[in-house]
Amino acid sequence: MPEELVRAEQLIFEGKEEEALEIITNFEKKDNLTPEERLSSLILKGWMVSSYTDKVGETTYQMSQKLGKDYESVEALILNASESLFNSKFDKAKDLLIKAENLFSSLTDISSTEISKLKAHLLEAGSLIYLLTNEYTKGLKSATQCLRLWKRLGNKSGVITMQIVFGFTNMMLGQYDIALDYGEKSLSLSKELNFQMRIAGSFTLIAGVHLYSGNIDQSLEYCKKALSIKELGNQDKLYIAVFLGRIYQVKGEIDRSLRHLKQAIPLAEKTNSIHILTMLLSAIGDAYRIKNDYENAEEYLKRALTFSQKIGYLFEMGNHLFELFLLNYEYEFYDKTHQYVVQLKELADQTENRLNNQAYLLAKALELKASNRRRNRADAEKLLYQIVEDKIAYPTSYHQSIIALCDLLLEELSFYNNPEILAEINSLITRLLNYSEKQHSYRFLAEGKLLQAKVALIEMKIESAKKFMTEAQRIAEIRGFNLLAENISTEHDILLESQKKWENLKKENAPMSERIKLASIDKIIERLSRKREIETPELINEEPILLLIMDNSGVTYFNHPFIANWDYNDLFSSFMSAFNTFSSEIFSKSIDRIRIGENTILINPIEPFLACYVIKGRSYPALQKLTRFTKAIRENSEIWQALNRSVKTSEMLELDKPPALKTVITEIFVS
């Protein structure tokens, strides 16, 4: 290979593709280049990340065949396979790669370094094919071998590519910690090389990991980071569109979700990225399902299925069939659901893919569960336990199977009034929580905690139910599920308002059916099983009554009534009684509110102090204000120092002493 092209290849290895392209372009301007030199320069262009879809594979293959160059023919076949892959021609890509491997095995008189480079290119293309066709075990094996070779050969660009492949593969397997680790590794190396396209690709991977693991706000942040890079490739742009669509669905902003998803369709069609087009159409169908628009939901899901069938995207075929099953299951169109069960069975038998097999088993179990016959429901329970006890193939199937089992057991509990069934339900919820925490599936973790609270109510463990609700809300808030957090807070308020009813049921030893009804457990079951979406509660601003700061012994250092001439002695006395009872739970953040009469006291510890906000009305908006207030106290040195001085002098703070306190209260509670 000419010296210029050797230098260009080294620059490609270092991710400096613009410099490499400049050298290759200048080289191609030379007079009297041999056909072999022209072929080498064109193949080098094909190895660039920015040239994956430039259709150099077929051209270089024809040239290499004409020149009788077997080594270059293998390179050309690999390039052609990569181009076919990114155009969603999976079968063609596999056939071309097999052809390349067969020709590679017949090569002789080639240096060990050149053989290693060609082997690495074969493994890289193979790992990408396996990733997009959901053959993850094979993909990880190829990627491991390829990564080892690229490191030995000093191909840093190839190392980044394999790190991203590892990341996406582990993300699809639900191994979010591993996926995030590879995303951070690829980002670090990409930044070291200032390789902008791979920085964008790493941002895309990290955004996806955060989305599927439930870190919604962080996912949105990385989507925006990726979009800020001008070198962002078309594939990454499309993935980001899918991620943004899903993010806004979780946030309850369905119209915004649809806008992002639909805007990306022309690009997917233009670049022939059919595999991502199926993801876009599926997400659009899901958005319409959330809007209770059956016709549009079915139309887009069917379009997604048609495209996935067209390109042989087997995993997505199973996914779309299951989505269509669930859509019709939610509307109780059981004739249609049976058709999809049959198709899922055929696909599972055809592919022997564990993901598709679990989708079939779950669909069949849900179909049997919908039957009124006891025998069918017993068979449904067996299938659901089969999924739960099996080695987990897909997190969603595992989650939904546990929820369906809980639903069956709750019906059995209501009918037979046997408290022993609660132990089985709690065992399933513990599995759900443990797996959700392990996989960082934070929405399921928060919803699972709420379900745990509802079951605690059925067991008449009212204080435990409050703690679980507080934990559930905090998980939802920290992970950016604000709409879910609002719903959980509303559930908590309803519990406090109905506490006397619960206490009466406890005294009467009421039957399980009454407890289940009062707990409204059906709503959380329906939401977790996708029959009901998170509702947007009507948030009415609270009526503020009193704001105070005290220490862990109950000594007050500041109180500010929002109502003129208001005497809080009786309320404070009641609060202190509750405080003494729950002080350990309050300071461990297990309790964030106490109900006294018509008033709610919201609590936020800022060690060694406690901020309390007394209100009437719904708690969620008020809790956000109290959180802002405690943060301001801690971060404002003037207020914090004054508060600590008051501990020594026993003098209470006043509204304008220190002046910063009045400013903070006005901005948060009055403005």
pLDDT in tens, 498-529: 999 999 999 999 999 999 999 999 888 888 77
List alpha helices for 133-233, DSSP H.
136-153, 156-172, 176-193, 196-213, 216-227
Lowest-pLDDT choice from 42-51, 402-411, 609-618: 42-51
Query: What mean pLDDT do residues 242-251 have?
Result: 91
Residue pair 402/431 in contact (Cβ under 8 Å)? The answer is yes
For the entire predicted model, the pTM comes to 0.81
CB crowding 654-667: b at 16 or more within 10 Å, else e: eeeebebbeebbee
Query: What mean pLDDT do residues 104-128 have?
Result: 92
Closest to 180 measured CA to CA, from 153, 205, 147 = 205
Note the pLDDT of residue 317: 87
| Rg (the chain; Cα; Å) | 30
Cα separation, 594 vs 457, in Å, equals 17
Ordered by where they begin, the domains of the chain are: 394-528 (no CATH), 543-670 (3.30.450.60)
Q: Reply yes or no on whether the pLDDT at 655 is more than 80.
A: yes
Query: What mean pLDDT do residues 85-100 have?
Result: 88
Q: How confident is the model at residue 533 (pLDDT cuts 50, 70, 90)?
A: low
Cα separation, 671 vs 662, in Å, equals 12
Mean pLDDT comparison of 394-398, 453-457, 647-651, highest-scoring range? 453-457
Q: Reply yes or no on whether the pLDDT at 541 is more than 70.
A: yes
Cα separation, 107 vs 102, in Å, equals 9
**Residue 238 carries which side chain, given as an amino acid letter?**
L
Query: What mean pLDDT do residues 580-589 have?
Result: 67
Long-range contacts of 111-115 (CB under 8 A, 24+ apart): 113/153, 114/71
Geometric angle at alpha carbon 304, from 57 and 85, rounded to 5°? 15
Helix orientation angle between 499-508 and 482-497, rounded to the nearest 10 degrees: 60
Residue 309: Cβ within 10 Å count: 16
Query: What mean pLDDT do residues 180-191 have?
Result: 96
Mapping DSSP onto H, E and C, the string for 1-13 reads CCHHHHHHHHHHH
The token pair at 333 is 């169109």
pLDDT in tens, 447-504: 999 999 999 999 999 999 999 999 999 999 888 888 889 889 999 999 999 999 999 9
Cα separation, 654 vs 666, in Å, equals 14
Note the pLDDT of residue 539: 63
The token pair at 172 is 């699809």
Q: Reply yes or no on whether the pLDDT at 589 is more than 80.
A: no
Q: Reply yes or no on whether the pLDDT at 532 is more than 70.
A: no
Cα separation, 5 vs 1, in Å, equals 6
Q: Reply yes or no on whether the pLDDT at 414 is more than 80.
A: yes
Note the pLDDT of residue 570: 63
Lowest-pLDDT choice from 203-212, 415-424, 587-596: 587-596
Closest to 529 measured CA to CA, from 329, 380, 337, 379 = 329
Lowest-pLDDT choice from 81-95, 384-398, 532-546: 532-546
The token pair at 169 is 């593969």
Closest to 617 measured CA to CA, from 600, 635, 632 = 600
pLDDT cut 90: percent of the chain above it: 58
Note the pLDDT of residue 53: 45
**Burial status of residue 416 (CB atoms within 10 A of its CB: 0-12, 13-18, 19 or more):** exposed
What is 227-243 written as a DSSP string? Answer: HT-TT--HHHHHHHHHH
Note the pLDDT of residue 2: 84
20: left (phi over 0), alpha (psi -120 to 50) or beta: alpha
